[in-house]
């Protein structure tokens, strides 16, 4: 048996969007007259994103209005892929098809892939377009191909990627070059952990070769 599907998160795995989002958070807090609540974004950020607002003094009822302001500072035209991503996606496709499962709007992802010439390396994009159920998105990608989770690899950079993949029974690679630090990712028990884009194919190929 070998891997038959590679599912990748978008932000922090393919798109180097951390600095753009960090600035968006700063601008949003400033808009509401609040001081920036972080000095180290990776240590502060929670992938259950609603908690980033509630832990900073916003009520749940205020989140829609906060997100409306926040969205004004989101501009993926300012974001590039991580260096070496095109080559690594090409190599990953030699193992199995690559799809994206992300809570980022699918139209934004597709526009990014077209602009950065990565669309040829991604078979499909799965997104709830406004929801946040990552487990459901991963399941949808697997079910669409009538595969078992054991034949599937999830690549992510946050606990919200790795935990649902583990719960479903997928193999998982956590990357430390994205939005979370290594210590927090290790606590989610990924199958493998990598620290650079250039290690993705090597890790995926090793996992594929060792599937029983």
Going by pLDDT thresholds of 50, 70 and 90, the confidence category of residue 211 is confident
Q: Can you spell out the DSSP letters for 169-197?
A: T-EEEEESSSSS-HHHHHTT--SEEESSG
Residue 47: the pLDDT is 87
Tens of pLDDT, residue by residue over 44-80, are 999 888 999 999 999 999 999 999 999 999 999 999 9
Going by pLDDT thresholds of 50, 70 and 90, the confidence category of residue 175 is very high
Res 168 pLDDT > 80: yes
Residue 128: the pLDDT is 84
Q: Cα separation of 64 and 43, whole Å?
A: 24
Going by pLDDT thresholds of 50, 70 and 90, the confidence category of residue 132 is low
Backbone angles phi, psi at 179, to 5 degrees: -95, -10
Tens of pLDDT, residue by residue over 28-49, are 999 999 999 999 999 999 988 8
CA-closest candidate to residue 158, choices 67, 52, 2, 64: 52
Cross-strand pairs, 171: 153
Res 130 pLDDT > 80: no
74's tokens? 């989101």
Stretch (H or E) spanning 154: strand 152-156
Q: What average pLDDT score do residues 166-181 get?
A: 96
Res 162 pLDDT > 90: yes
Q: What percent of the chain has pLDDT over 70?
A: 97
Count the residues in the chain.
212
Buried b (16+ CB within 10 A) or exposed e, 180-200: beeebbeebebbbbbeebbbb
Residue 212: the pLDDT is 67
Tell me the CATH number for domain 5-16+80-209. 3.40.50.1000
Q: Decide if 199 contacts 88 (C-beta within 8 A).
A: no
Buried b (16+ CB within 10 A) or exposed e, 132-152: eebeebbbbbbeeeebebebb
CA-closest candidate to residue 101, choices 55, 72, 136: 136
């Amino acid at each position: 048996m070998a891997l038959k599907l590679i599912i990748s998160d978008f932000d922090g795995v393919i798109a180097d969007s951390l600095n753009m989002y960090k600035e968006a958070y700063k601008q949003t807090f400033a808009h509401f007259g609040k001081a920036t609540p972080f000095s180290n974004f990776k240590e502060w950020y929670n992938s259950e994103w609603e908690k980033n607002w509630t832990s900073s003094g916003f009520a749940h009822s205020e989140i829609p209005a906060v997100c409306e302001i926040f969205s004004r500072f989101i501009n993926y035209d300012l974001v590039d892929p991580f260096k070496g991503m095109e080559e690594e996606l090409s190599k990953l496709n030699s193992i199995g098809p690559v799809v994206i499962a992300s809570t980022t709007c699918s139209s934004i992802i597709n526009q990014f892939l077209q602009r950065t010439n990565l669309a040829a390396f991604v078979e499909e994009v799965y997104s709830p377009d406004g929801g946040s159920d990552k487990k459901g998105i991963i399941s949808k990608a697997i079910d669409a191909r009538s595969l078992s989770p054991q034949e599937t690899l999830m690549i992510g950079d946050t606990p919200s990627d790795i935990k649902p993949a583990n719960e479903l029974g997928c193999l998982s690679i956590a990357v430390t070059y994205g939005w979370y630090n290594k210590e927090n990712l290790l606590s989610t028990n990924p199958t493998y952990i990598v620290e650079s884009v250039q290690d993705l194919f090597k890790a995926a190929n090793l996992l594929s070769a060792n599937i029983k």
